[in-house]
Chains A and B, each alone.
Chain A
Amino acid sequence: MTAHIKQPNTGEVLRYLGYRGQEMSSQLAAQIEACGREVAGAAKFAVIYKHLPIEEISAEKACAGDTAQPADDPGARLSEIFLPGKDIAAHLKGCSDAILMAATLGADVERLLLKNEVSDMSRALIMDACATQLIEEYLDAFENELRESMAGESLYLTGRFSPGYGDLPIEIQGEIAAVLDTHRKIGLTVSKTHLLIPRKSVTAVLGISQKPVRLSARGCDLCSKKADCSFRKEKRKCNE
């Protein structure tokens, strides 16, 4: 299983913090490193997933003429859950199966963040960014392991697609959690307002295909942060 990550990538953490090359004291740089280690020390990454056959993908109606019409009820029907939206349908197009997954850094990170929000906001902010980056790194590692094991069977894995990306609604979080039994298995719950708790948690869907898939960088349209992206507000992009 995924090895323990001792510290999140500092460059990425700085990016989350909105760093743009400002002059920075050595104390602040050291504090960011220390926060990263502390968050990684508190993190207990846990992941649960199910391999589900895809029963139906309805993206477009049968073509009548030149222009394809969107289906009335687009989405991807997996054996245990229906994922609505044209974007998830497009993401899973050509796939026979899907991996439905959920992961969390656990409650200790949550507790660490809560405590620092009281005692030292600056540290809390840095730790929040560290935790966001850390779970991404864990998910990347997990995804790579999965991709390698699939490659052994000549299967190909798409990237991760989460509720909130494109038109896959975050209202689906509760259903995903129920199907994966996340409360019992990894301690992950969903609030009535569809938030994942502990906060540093992720759910996602990955498609499995018999044919090679192109792993494209997700554009802004499919990003869950599109509405509130601080890069976009400044007319920049996060991957620049």
Chain B
Amino acid sequence: MNDVIYLDGAMGTMLLPLGMTAGDNPSLFGMKRPELLEKIHMDYITAGSRVILTNTFSANADKLSGSGFSVKEVVSANVGAAVSAKRRAALSGINVRVALDIGPIGELPEPYGSLKSDHAYDIFREIIIAGEAAGADVIYFETMSALQELRAGILAAKENSRLPVWATMSFEAGGRTFLGTTVAAMGITLDAMGVDAMGFNCSVGPGEFRLFTRELRRFTDRPIIAKPNAGLPDPVTGRYGLNAEAFAAQMTDVIAEGASLAGGCCGTDPAYIKALVDAQNERGKDAPETQSPALAKTPAVCSAVKAVCFDGIRIVGERINPTGKKRLRQALLDGDMNYVMNLAIEQEEAGADILDINVGCPGIDEPAVMEQVVKAVQSVTDLPLQIDSSDPAAIESGLRACCGRAIVNSVDASDEKLAALLPIVKKYGAAVVGLTMDGSGMPKNADERVALAAKIVKKASEFGIAPEDIIIDCLTLTAAAQPDQTKETLEGVRRVRNELGVHATLGISNISFGLPARELLNGTFLAQALGAGLDFPIINPCSRPMMDVIAAAKALLGEDNDCLGFIKTRSEQEVLPENTKTADSGADTYTIESAVSKGLPDEVSALVKKMLAERDELEIVNSCLIPALDKVGKQYESGKIFLPQLLTAANAACAGFDVIKESILSKGKSDVNRGDIILATVEGDIHDIGKNIVRVVLENYGFHVIDLGKDVPAQKIVETAKEKNVRLIGLSALMTTTVPAMEKTIELLRREGHECVVMVGGAVLTEDYAEKIGADFYTKDATASVRVAEEFFK
């Protein structure tokens, strides 16, 4: 049997009968009554607890603001009570550890709420420094539901203290936290970050904890913590369902499943801990010495919500990479995250498992843009990321921002690169792509590829990075230029997989550069490489032929249970051609005006493509697209159509504008731009939908919108306006409580002397209100904002 270490039970439950009321901050209550706290700690120690949690769950700067006490004072007093209990226990020869308890800050992290990772980091650091100084032995995060927030805490702990770090999150009965983090995603992330013990607390009872523990053991070999509630509370009385004996009996199963740090949460008290200890002692006498069988840890990467295990073909989406893509490069330079986020959404919907993120292009602050893109992409997709850069600073910045466990793409076999990157890979616990090249140029054959891969594996092992977390890239060389290299690449893949126990990745499309029928060559090469053991193909998942090859290969390689997935997708695809009419045929029956008003994006883009053969881009914009939009705008104003119809029309027009933009960029001309406009939802407001509607419509009229997003501080708006010299600014606020932030923004713009026109909109605003807060225009809806913009840029 495992040696179990006993933790304590609830603290809040113990304080309520002593005079604290619901809604009070327990840390403030406790600091005024240290003798009560010490007694509770002693009761737990007497019951058998050997790790006691300090009464600091809510002792953070946000929750203490306005209390008149500093974090340091509150933390010191509460930790002090636990430390004196520890000293008293030591007098009787009992060795107790004091765990600095840290709960969630109270606001949800971005993109749900306003909590920024940097702010979370600072708040946690303050508690950690005070707690360590006051004598804590362990840093203990608990009741976390947001993995992003917990990550900030763990980084703060690792970078500001040498104490061990333990962490538990709260899972609902289905095995997900309120924010959707799964047990697997928590396990993969915390194990990668080097947390010393991890597990679960609160929310449900020990029955569910047994299943959570079993799942977690697949992803970590570190000690597992179980601190469940005493069953579920009665909705009317609030009393928990399990008594101490029943709790202890069910905990026996959780411990048998592999939890080695056991205690209780809501509804438990010292009697529960005593029953737990007694039940284990009882069992220990009779039970034979059985050790739960050690499981091999499953290598995997994850986002906050989704795990992707390294046990089969995993598609890496390649489209977020500006090399050779003018439109994306422009978007990155402009900070146009919507374009990038859409690339992520499209790839996820097309079936990618992992997204490669590369933002390298001339004139860009790569570390800063990498952070921005990683956050933006993670706000709209569930996929794990592969951070792709040749700049170690950009890689670190991407890893730091990335929630979950990522892949680093890439290190090569040169000593400098290995020395620069492996410590970063290790620090963030990432998986890593190793390129089979070094300073001396490209490898000439399979032997050289294997030798370089072996060097990477050896160096990585010195940092404790295992071969199953390494993905070797044997380099796809252009077949037209180096025809003898393709088979060397394939042989390299086969050998590194077999001889080194690593995974293999290849960028596929480079193979066909300069040749006709590229898709055929790419598909054939992909099939050959998958046959050789390639398991991380880097492709465009929106390419149907490539995805077909992967689906077929999975079926043939036994990765598709009885080929059922293949059969299903094929039968769906075969039905399609009869039911869907192609956009080209539609182009004959519609005009741009009718296709826009009916909201048919494919038809609009086909029509625009056709017109481009004869007409200039600007002419199409001015004589077709804008008049079509004007017409639906008027219909909307007169009540002939309602808002969803206006937006579907705008969306269809947008497809036309995309064609125009591509065409202009491909000719090396500058974009259609009728003028720059900044849009932002003001600080404190997270209701973004109104502003987003305005953005879509303004963009369709050819205005260049710099969308700063939601919850935007006044300072940021002013800085951007000055830096980019933008003279028209649109602000949105939905709530009466956030209009003051709008007023403040306008005030700051005026005070800083930036000459500009401000238009405002949002549910609570009126003409009068807008005037009162100093705005130049009140725009009641999206079409009104277009009129202001047209007038302004006339």
Contacts and interface: CB of A to CB of B under 8 A. Distances in A.
A179 B25 CA distance: 11
A114 B651 contact: no
B687 A178 contact: no
A61 interface: no
Interface in A1-40: 17-20, 22, 24-25, 27-28, 32
B106 A189 contact: yes
Size bin of chain A's contact surface: 35 or more
SS of B interface (majority): loop
B23 A118 contact: no
B577 to A, nearest CB: 20
A111 interface: yes
Contact of B380 (A28, A108, A114): A114
Contacts of A122: 599, 644, 647-648, 650-651
B764 A228 contact: yes
Interface in A105-127: 106-108, 110-111, 113-115, 117-122, 124-126
A195 B696 CA distance: 25
Given A122-B648, A178-B23, A227-B764, A189 B108 contact: yes
A199 interface: yes
Given A184-B202, A187-B178, A118 B345 contact: yes
A183 B737 contact: no
Interface in B49-73: none
Given A179-B22, A193-B685, A195-B685, A115 B380 contact: yes
Contact of B379 (A114, A126, A184, A189): A114
A184 B142 CA distance: 11
B145 interface: yes
Nearest to A47: B235
A189 B114 CA distance: 11
Contact of A191 (B114, B645, B734): B114
Nearest to A80: B22
Interface in A123-182: 124-126, 128, 170-171, 175, 178-179, 181
B170 A184 contact: yes
B179 interface: yes
B644 A126 contact: yes
Given A117-B688, A189-B108, A197-B107, A22 B345 contact: no
Nearest to B65: A192
A204 interface: no
Nearest to A179: B23
A162 to B, nearest CB: 14
A183 B63 CA distance: 13
Contacts of B106: 183, 189
Contacts of B688: 117
Given A22-B645, A80-B21, A121 B651 contact: yes
Contacts, number: 147
Given A20-B639, A22-B641, A192 B648 contact: no
A125 B737 contact: no
B143 interface: yes
Nearest to B346: A119
Nearest to A18: B642
B23 A175 contact: yes
Contacts of A90: none
B686 A125 contact: no
B364 interface: no
Interface in A180-238: 181, 183-184, 186-187, 189-195, 197-199, 227-228
Given A192-B684, A193-B737, A17 B643 contact: yes
Contacts of B736: 170, 227
Contact of B23 (A80, A108, A193, A227): A80
Given A191-B114, A192-B114, A121 B650 contact: yes
Interface in B199-243: 202-203, 235-236, 238
A34 to B, nearest CB: 13
Contacts of B177: 187
Contacts of A32: 644
B179 A107 contact: yes
A194 B22 contact: no
Given A51-B236, A117-B692, A194 B763 contact: no
Given A179-B23, A184-B143, A20 B642 contact: yes
A197 B689 contact: no
Nearest to A107: B179
Contacts of A194: 735, 737
Interface string B311-341: 0000000000000000000000000001001
Contacts of A183: 104, 106
A133 B648 CA distance: 21
Interface in B675-733: 684-689, 692-693, 696
A193 B112 contact: no
Contacts of A193: 684-685, 735, 737-738, 741
Contacts of B483: none
Given A121-B692, A186-B178, A191-B113, A170 B737 contact: yes
B107 A125 contact: no
B581 interface: no
B622 interface: no
Contacts of B108: 107, 189, 197-198
B235 A197 contact: no
Interface string B641-666: 11111011011000000000000000
B674 interface: no
Contacts of B794: none
Interface string B93-118: 00000000000101110011110000
Interface string B474-505: 00000000000000000000000000000000
A17 B642 contact: yes
A25 B689 CA distance: 24
A191 B107 contact: yes
Given A17-B644, A183-B104, A199 B687 contact: yes
A22 B737 CA distance: 35
Interface of B: 21-23, 104, 106-108, 111-114, 143, 145, 170, 177-180, 202-203, 235-236, 238, 338, 341-342, 345, 379-381, 598-599, 639-645, 647-648, 650-651, 684-689, 692-693, 696, 734-738, 741, 762-764
Given A118-B380, A193-B685, 6 more contacts: A17-B642, A20-B639, A50-B22, A80-B21, A184-B170, A191-B684
28 contacts: A17-B643, A20-B642, A25-B599, A32-B644, A49-B235, A50-B238, A114-B111, A118-B338, A118-B341, A122-B647, A122-B648, A125-B643, A171-B737, A179-B23, A184-B143, A189-B106, A189-B108, A191-B114, A191-B684, A192-B684, A193-B684, A195-B686, A195-B687, A197-B112, A197-B686, A199-B687, A227-B764, A228-B763
Which 8 pairs across A and B sit closest by C-beta, in order of nearness? A187-B178, A228-B763, A193-B684, A122-B647, A178-B23, A179-B23, A197-B113, A118-B341
